């Protein structure tokens, strides 16, 4: 399998090169040249596989340059860190299936992809005798999952900037309690945007970027999307017993990475029916799907903060396919976005969008109400992101069908919101209790680029 860029200026390149490139160097996103087709016989033959076995079956279709045994061992190591034997178990409650993606080390679905990406980075770097310095800004979830993905790994150092005192207590501890020598937490006196500006400035200095082999871990890496394709197959195999049954998926969406993985699974032949894209008040994608209105708004802070996004970076991957894999139409769309703050679509394109997705936006009031109602009916606690997807599924998907709702975080990770909704705190898993009292390491500094740069140079491996 080879990879090309949505902007038409790269490749075809191998899987390992695509992983190391991350963002395509022509400014686009990398995609496989085609989607391998999984026949219904092949799909049936996967029914008895464990999660890591299924992950190997799916992922190996996209990897042409890592020997099978090595790839198996990378996958096995990545999922052995999950605390549930099924890795991503399904639970049926109130007529919907909850696909629990939060049994990894940081209790959010990002662990599914970042445990695998960390191991992949280490494997490729060792082979190439190279090193990588990852720099990223986080408002909480991505940073902690990335740190746990690469802690203690050879050839990699990671520097994560977060706004001091502005993440949840659990999120901060999940980062600062990692004291491995290759992990560097920086807490800035400032906002998440200040952190992001620092990172952008370092990446913008091309000489600096080259000299210190800077890399990123944001959701544009193809390997992250690929790791997420697996659990759509896993869920489908667990909730059906014949290949004819359609299954709907409801996905709480921010950067469009998770739901794009569902789209890829469908393109490979998974008989998924509706892909329901659920948003909070940051609903540009819902407006696009339901009323052809892809126009930028202001980011609103909500109780589902990991979905507070206006420009969903992975949407570019879908747009490329919507535009019949035509890079010039894609570039024209992004030029329009830059000039006029919007993208316009033809009626035929909109028909296709509505064939691929349906969508609903769930506001904060309804999110809190859903946590309450669902608990009253089932005794099951939803985190606010998952609640957005569950509410959309209950409203939009036919009740007599298999409806799978992706549960993207453990309720204890957003306990403040759960408490606001229900009046009590969700039970805290042992891994979280254990964080309190652990030694921590974190550099607190002013949002001053020269200080950040100095710290980085003094601490690289």
Ligand X SMILES: *Cc1c(COP(=O)(O)O)cnc(C)c1O
The residues binding ligand X (CB under 6 A) are: 108, 110, 141, 219, 252-258, 306-307, 385, 408-409
State the nearest-atom distance from the C-beta of 54 to ligand X, in Å: 20
Residue 214 forms beta bridges with which residues? Answer: 133
Q: Per the residue annotation, which of 48, 72, 93, 110 is the catalytic one?
A: 110
Q: Which is nearer to ligand X, 199 or 259 (CB)?
A: 259
In the numeric block, the tokens 């191991």 are attached to: 119
- Sequence-separated (6 or more) residues with CB below 8 Å from residue 256: 285, 312, 313, 314, 315, 317, 318
State the nearest-atom distance from the C-beta of 414 to ligand X, in Å: 8
Contact 276, 250 (CB under 8 A): yes
Nearest to 457 by CA among 290, 264, 211: 211
State the nearest-atom distance from the C-beta of 102 to ligand X, in Å: 8
Q: Which is nearer to ligand X, 132 or 382 (CB)?
A: 382
**H or E, element range at 399:** none
Gap between the Cα atoms of 241 and 239, Å rounded: 7
Contact 376, 68 (CB under 8 A): no
Nearest to 102 by CA among 84, 116, 85, 115: 84
Q: Which is nearer to ligand X, 158 or 409 (CB)?
A: 409
Helix %, strand %, coil % for the chain, to 5?
50, 15, 35
CA angle at 401 for the pair 398 and 404, rounded to the nearest 5°: 95
Contact 278, 250 (CB under 8 A): yes
State the nearest-atom distance from the C-beta of 219 to ligand X, in Å: 6
Q: Which is nearer to ligand X, 254 or 426 (CB)?
A: 254
CA terminus-to-terminus distance, the chain: 33
State the nearest-atom distance from the C-beta of 391 to ligand X, in Å: 14
Residue 247 forms beta bridges with which residues? Answer: 272, 402
* Residue 154 annotated as catalytic: no
State the nearest-atom distance from the C-beta of 276 to ligand X, in Å: 13
Question: Catalytic residue positions?
Answer: 110
């Amino acid at each position: 399998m080879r990879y090309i860029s949505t902007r038409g200026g790269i490749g075809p390149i191998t899987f390992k090169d695509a992983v190391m490139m991350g963002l395509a160097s022509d400014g686009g996103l990398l995609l496989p040249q085609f989607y391998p087709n999984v026949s219904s016989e092949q799909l049936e033959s996967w029914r008895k596989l464990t999660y890591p076995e299924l992950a190997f079956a799916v992922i190996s279709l996209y990897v042409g340059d890592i020997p099978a045994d090595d790839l198996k061992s990378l996958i096995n190591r990545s999922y052995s860190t999950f605390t549930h034997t099924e890795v991503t178990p399904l639970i049926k409650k109130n007529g919907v299936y909850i696909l629990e993606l939060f049994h990894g080390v940081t209790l959010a679905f990002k662990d599914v992809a970042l445990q695998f990406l960390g191991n992949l980075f280490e494997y490729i770097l060792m082979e190439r005798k190279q090193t990588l310095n990852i720099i990223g800004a986080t408002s909480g979830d991505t940073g902690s999952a990335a740190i746990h993905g690469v802690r203690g790994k050879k050839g990699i150092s990671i520097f994560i900037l977060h706004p001091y005192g502005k993440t949840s207590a659990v999120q901060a501890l999940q980062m600062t309690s990692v004291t491995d020598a290759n992990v560097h937490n920086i807490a800035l006196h400032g906002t998440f945007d200040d952190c992001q500006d620092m990172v952008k400035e370092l990446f913008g200095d091309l000489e600096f970027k080259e000299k210190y082999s800077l890399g990123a871990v944001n959701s544009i890496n193809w390997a992250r999307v690929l790791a997420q394709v697996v659990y759509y197959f896993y869920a489908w195999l667990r909730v059906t017993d014949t290949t004819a049954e359609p299954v709907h998926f409801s996905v709480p969406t921010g950067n469009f990475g998770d739901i794009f993985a569902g789209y890829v699974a469908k393109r490979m032949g998974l008989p998924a029916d509706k892909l329901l894209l659920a948003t909070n008040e940051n609903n540009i994608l819902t407006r696009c799907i339901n009323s052809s209105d892809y126009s930028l708004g202001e980011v609103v802070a909500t109780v589902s903060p990991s979905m507070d996004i206006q420009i969903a970076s992975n949407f570019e991957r879908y747009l490329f396919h919507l535009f019949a894999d035509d890079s010039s139409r894609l570039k024209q769309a992004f030029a329009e976005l830059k000039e006029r703050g919007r993208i316009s679509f033809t009626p035929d394109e909109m028909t296709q969008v509505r064939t691929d997705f349906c969508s609903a936006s769930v506001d904060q009031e309804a999110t809190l109400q859903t946590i309450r109602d669902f608990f009253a009916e089932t005794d099951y606690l939803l985190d606010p992101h998952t609640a957005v997807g569950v509410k959309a599924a209950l409203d939009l998907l036919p009740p007599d069908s298999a409806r799978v709702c992706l549960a993207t975080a453990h309720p204890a990770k957003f306990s403040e919101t759960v408490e606001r909704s229900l009046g009590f705190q969700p039970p805290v898993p042992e891994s979280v209790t254990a964080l309190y009292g652990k030694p921590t390491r974190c550099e607190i500094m002013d949002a001053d680029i020269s200080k950040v740069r100095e710290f980085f140079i003094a601490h690289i491996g």
